[in-house]
């Protein structure tokens, strides 16, 4: 088996058939399979997959993973996968027909161990004024990415998105599987599992690249284009970064930074003291933006405060 496509799914029985339709049109240079991991769905996900098994153009496997969490589901799928190259995407995407062909070529051309690529939007709602249509720092919130037309090597600053990643199988032998203490779980917006794995991958000597011709299109529902969703996402982003800080002492604002020795940084209730000063500045900047009538700057400062609230919550929980 040359390729395995692994998808973790949770209560997306309405969207999953369209993703499978997209995968069924894939072009490849060798035998491939699709592994769907049902992570405790309460809808008819199982029936949706099993109804397709007989008519799907390649082996389609259904796995049930009881341990909650996207990381746990992906680990189950990776263990079951038989491909030399393992591609991971989500249950609400439309893949480019050349996705796997381009991935195989990029692994050889870039002489690397894993890849990430573009995740472009399929907007299902009207874009708000504060959301750019092409790129911008808010794109990561809704799992979109476009680093441009040239390959970029992943490092501490640049990491792939889990919605579009491809690995040589030996990557997981050398760097291990995903850490299930972080990553999306039902009822949360936990993240940072790709960043954490990327840290281990670099330590193991693995090289990864962004490949611009590795393309998926990600469905963005209207309820994610709201300030409510962004506030919730930044709150859980703070929690996720605090977990990384607890486990690896990575800078919570800039995990790629190595400028601070946190053993020497003053803390207050488990949070570096300088973050409280940053929070105060953000609070006053909200009022400044309000006076100027700058709604975008006001919302960005507000989002940082939600991020800080998540940090405080998780650090207090860790101390307790």
**pLDDT tens by residue, 123-155:** 999 988 888 777 777 898 999 999 999 999 998
> Which pLDDT value is given to residue 77?
98
Cα 189 to the center of its chain, rounded Å: 10
What ranges make up the beta strands (E) of 184-274? 208-220, 267-268, 271-272
Cβ neighbours around 251 below 10 Å, total: 17
What's 25's domain CATH number? 3.90.550.10
What pTM was computed for the model? Answer: 0.90
> Which pLDDT value is given to residue 259?
76
User: Domain boundary residue among 222, 255, 278?
Assistant: 222
Do 137 and 157 reside in the same domain of the chain?
yes
Do 187 and 294 reside in the same domain of the chain?
no
Residue partners of 303: CB distance under 8 A and separation at least 6: 230, 231, 234
Q: Which residue has the tokens 């690896």?
A: 248
> Which pLDDT value is given to residue 138?
86
Do 278 and 156 reside in the same domain of the chain?
no
Range of the domain at 238: 227-319
Please tell me the distance from the alpha carbon of residue 160 to that of residue 158, in angstroms, as a whole number.
Answer: 7
Do 213 and 95 reside in the same domain of the chain?
yes
49 in Cβ contact with 21 (< 8 Å): no
Do 54 and 165 reside in the same domain of the chain?
yes
Do 233 and 218 reside in the same domain of the chain?
no
| Average pLDDT rounded to a whole number, residues 33-41 | 97
Do 156 and 299 reside in the same domain of the chain?
no
Do 291 and 155 reside in the same domain of the chain?
no
Confidence check: pLDDT of 257 > 90: no
Do 52 and 175 reside in the same domain of the chain?
yes
Buried b (16+ CB within 10 A) or exposed e, 52-79: beeebeeebbbbebeebbbbbbbbbbbe
User: Domain boundary residue among 182, 203, 222?
Assistant: 222
Do 233 and 99 reside in the same domain of the chain?
no
> Which pLDDT value is given to residue 189?
81
Say which range, 261-265, 276-280, 305-309, has the weakest mean pLDDT.
261-265
> Which pLDDT value is given to residue 171?
98
Please tell me the distance from the alpha carbon of residue 209 to that of residue 211, in angstroms, as a whole number.
Answer: 6
Q: Across the strands, what pairs with 301?
A: none
User: Domain boundary residue among 204, 222, 240?
Assistant: 222
> Which pLDDT value is given to residue 244?
87
Domain total in the chain: 2
Average predicted confidence (pLDDT) for the chain: 92
Looking at the chain, the whole-number percentage of residues with pLDDT higher than 70 is 99
Tokens coding 251: 């800078």
Do 250 and 183 reside in the same domain of the chain?
no
Do 214 and 233 reside in the same domain of the chain?
no
241 in Cβ contact with 146 (< 8 Å): no
Cβ neighbours around 200 below 10 Å, total: 17
């Amino acid at each position: 088996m040359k390729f395995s496509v692994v998808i973790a799914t949770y209560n997306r029985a309405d969207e999953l058939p369209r993703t499978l339709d997209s995968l069924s049109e894939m072009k490849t240079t060798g035998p491939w399979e699709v592994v769907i991991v049902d992570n405790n769905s309460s809808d008819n996900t199982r029936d949706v997959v099993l109804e397709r098994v007989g008519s799907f153009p390649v082996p389609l496997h259904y796995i049930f993973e009881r341990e909650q969490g996207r990381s746990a589901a992906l680990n189950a799928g990776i263990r079951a996968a038989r491909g030399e190259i393992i591609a991971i995407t989500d249950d609400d995407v439309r893949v480019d027909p050349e996705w796997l062909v381009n991935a195989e070529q990029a692994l050889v051309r870039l002489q690397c161990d894993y890849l990430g690529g573009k995740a472009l939007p399929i907007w299902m709602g009207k874009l708000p004024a504060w959301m750019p249509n092409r790129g911008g720092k808010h794109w990561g919130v809704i799992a979109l990415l476009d680093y441009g037309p040239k390959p970029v090597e992943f490092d501490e600053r640049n990491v792939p998105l889990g919605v579009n990643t491809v690995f040589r199988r030996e990557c997981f032998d050398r760097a291990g599987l995903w850490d299930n203490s972080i990553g999306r779980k039902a009822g949360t917006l936990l993240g940072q599992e790709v960043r954490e794995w990327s840290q281990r991958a670099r330590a193991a000597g693995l090289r990864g690249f962004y490949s611009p011709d590795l393309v998926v299109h990600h469905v963005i529902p209207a309820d994610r284009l709201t300030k409510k969703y962004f506030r919730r996402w930044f709150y859980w982003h703070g929690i996720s970064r605090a977990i990384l800080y607890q486990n690896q002492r990575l800078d919570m604002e800039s995990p790629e930074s190595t400028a601070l020795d946190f053993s020497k940084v003053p803390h207050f209730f488990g949070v570096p003291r300088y973050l409280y000063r940053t929070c105060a500045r953000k609070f006053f900047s909200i009022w400044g933006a309000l006076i100027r009538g700058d709604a975008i700057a006001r919302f960005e400062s507000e989002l940082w405060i939600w991020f800080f609230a998540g940090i405080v919550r998780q650090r207090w929980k860790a101390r307790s």
